[in-house]
Amino acid sequence: MLQIRVFFEKITPEQTSIMIDYYNEHKNTDWNKIEKNTAAEGGFMIPLKPEEINGASTNPNDMVKQVRWNRKRLLSGRYGKYLNVFSDDETTLLYDAMVSVFGKDDVVLEECKTGAN
């Protein structure tokens, strides 16, 4: 599983919008659109298609794939709670979107190490 690590302190709403627009313009046509994650930690989320939702859960976390901020990293499946994680392709495209705003010196795509999240 891939994760994104950053070397900057803040993201403005304008920068977030640019990243979301970049992702949604470059995503595969059969992927759902990415959105800003409304969780306390922030991050990004992709609503699941109805056929992707497992069971009859009403938990909002079961209805989306998500990455959340933790120690300057965007992590999918934080603490193993969430089964709906970003694919490596989705994470890579989000990385590309972030690089388009911040540059390669401030954004790194890396393999998620066990215990890193």
Entry pTM: 0.89
Which tens digit of pLDDT belongs to each residue from 3-20?
A: 999 999 999 999 999 999
Domain ranges, ordered by start, for the chain: 2-111
pLDDT, tens digit, 9 for 90 and up, residues 49-81: 888 877 767 778 888 899 999 999 998 865 445
With H, G, I as helix, E, B as strand and everything else as coil, classify residue 35. Answer: strand
Please give the structure tokens belonging to residue 50. Answer: 């109805």
| Range 3-26 burial, b when 16+ CB lie within 10 A, else e | bbbeeeeebeeeeeebbbebbeee
